[in-house]
């Protein structure tokens, strides 16, 4: 089995995955949301200190699980490799996970697998399952740091088809929540405010509507929300703002996805949506209809594995292990991450 570690942003998480059939044996995670919420975003210094506290606590849980399951005094003996998401992410938090990964691999004398966190999100679709790439898999990745359409032919061939020119989809929810003083992370909060509103929506600009490029942009929409808040200050309805923004953000995602489906229809049979923001119900519903219209099989990760977690890293690690993609100890954390060096290491 493989022990996987995730510490790329504000979630500390460890998992155990069986190599033979990709079964997730154990998963544990500690989020830091309440610590970052007062600041309206992740504070890297706080995040790295919390990882330093949380990761050893989670390792104790892994040890307890292994002791109980195997009734042994050498609980780590069944481990065949240590997997770590070492890019992209915050360098001060990635290095907390890397320290633990290096120490475990060195002391247990087992190989280290340094993996791409975004590729991990893609493999969240296949936790506890064989891969379902079929004759091609299209993926929408919507996280706090990235908004991308990816085309996957197989484990080694991943092409970036479109990405955001500025803010990401998830980040725009975080920023809207911050403008309305609603806390962090903004995605689930803005979504629940929007759900409480059923009146007319405020007009919002749909980004890049008349631009033929397959690309995303959320900074203009964020600015439109800022202006709307300033305009309606005296009788501001946070629910109306959230609902109007969410509708526009999802319409923008769908508008460009439709172009992708039209242009690339022959090259994929399955379509997956991954990343923390793939938990958004409106987005899921809209993409579901699009997939039905184009006769594509929609793949979604279970809700608990949409946001950052070590189970997806463990699942990806099974593939990396099969390809013997072992890393030297202390493999450096790549400061420049996606997309430029994504192609190279996929």
Only one of the segments 24-32, 233-241, 283-291, 303-311 lies at the binding site for Zn ion (rule: CB under 5 A); that segment is 303-311
CB atoms within 10 A of CB 274: 26
Annotated binding site: 117, 121, 141-145, 174, 187, 191, 280, 308
Phi, psi angle pair for 246, to nearest 5°: -60, -40
Element (H, E) at 152: strand 147-154
Closer CB to ligand KG4, 111 or 275, in the complex: 275
Parallel/antiparallel/unpaired status of strands 81-87 and 112-116: parallel
Residues in the chain: 346
Paired residues of 2 in beta bridges? 17, 81
Site for ligand KG4 in 190-249 (CB under 6 A): 191
Does the footprint of ligand KG4 cover residue 188 (CB under 6 A)? yes
Choosing from 6, 96, 167, 171, the residue that interacts with ligand KG4 (CB under 6 A) is: 171
Closer CB to Zn ion, 1 or 310, in the complex: 310
User: In this structure, what is the dihedral angle of CA atoms 52, 56, 59, 63, given to the nearest 10 degrees?
Assistant: 170
Does the footprint of ligand KG4 cover residue 279 (CB under 6 A)? yes
Site string for Zn ion, 130-169 (x = CB under 5 A): -------------x--------------------------
Whether 220 contacts 308, CB under 8 Å: no
Does the footprint of Zn ion cover residue 308 (CB under 5 A)? yes
Does the footprint of ligand KG4 cover residue 272 (CB under 6 A)? no
- With CB under 5 to 8 Å by kind, the binding choice for 138 among Zn ion, ligand KG4, none is none
CB of residue 246 to ligand KG4, shortest distance in Å: 8
Residue pointed to by tokens 């594995």 = 305
Distance CA 152, CA 298 (A): 14
Element (H, E) at 191: helix 186-195
Closest CA to 145 of 277, 243, 32, 286: 277
Residues in touch with ligand KG4 (CB under 6 A): 9, 143-145, 170-171, 173-174, 185-188, 191, 275-277, 279-280, 307-308
Residues in touch with Zn ion (CB under 5 A): 143, 308
């Amino acid at each position: 089995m493989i022990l996987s570690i995730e510490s790329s942003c504000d979630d500390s998480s460890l998992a155990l995955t069986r190599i033979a059939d990709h079964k997730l044996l154990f998963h544990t995670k500690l989020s830091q949301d309440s610590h970052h919420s007062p600041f309206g975003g992740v504070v890297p210094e706080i995040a790295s200190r919390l990882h330093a506290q949380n990761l050893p606590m989670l390792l104790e849980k892994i040890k307890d699980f292994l002791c109980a399951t195997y009734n042994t005094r050498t609980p780590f003996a069944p481990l065949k490799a240590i997997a770590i998401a070492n890019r992209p992410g915050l360098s001060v938090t990635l290095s907390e996970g890397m320290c633990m990964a290096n120490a475990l691999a060195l002391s247990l004398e087992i190989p280290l697998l340094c993996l791409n966190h975004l590729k991990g999100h893609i493999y969240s679709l296949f936790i506890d399952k064989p891969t379902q790439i079929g004759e091609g898999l299209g993926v929408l990745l919507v996280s706090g740091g990235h908004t991308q359409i990816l085309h996957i032919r197989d484990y080694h061939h991943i092409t970036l088809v479109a990405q955001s020119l500025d803010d990401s989809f998830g980040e725009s929810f975080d920023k809207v929540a911050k403008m309305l003083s609603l806390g962090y992370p903004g995605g689930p909060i803005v979504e629940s405010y929007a759900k409480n509103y059923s009146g007319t929506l405020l007009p919002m600009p749909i980004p890049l509507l008349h631009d033929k490029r397959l690309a995303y942009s959320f900074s203009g929409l964020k600015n439109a929300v800022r202006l709307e808040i300033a305009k309606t200050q005296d009788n501001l309805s946070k629910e109306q703002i959230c609902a109007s923004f969410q509708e526009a953000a999802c319409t923008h995602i769908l508008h460009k996805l439709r172009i992708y489906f039209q242009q690339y229809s022959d090259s994929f049979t399955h379509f997956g949506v991954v990343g923390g923001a793939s938990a958004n119900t409106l987005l899921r519903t809209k993409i579901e209809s699009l997939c039905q219209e184009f006769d594509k099989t929609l793949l979604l990760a279970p809700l608990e594995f949409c946001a950052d977690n070590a189970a997806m890293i463990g699942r990806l690690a099974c593939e990396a292990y099969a390809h013997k993609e072992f890393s030297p100890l202390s493999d450096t954390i790549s400061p420049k991450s996606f997309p430029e060096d994504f192609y190279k290491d996929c």
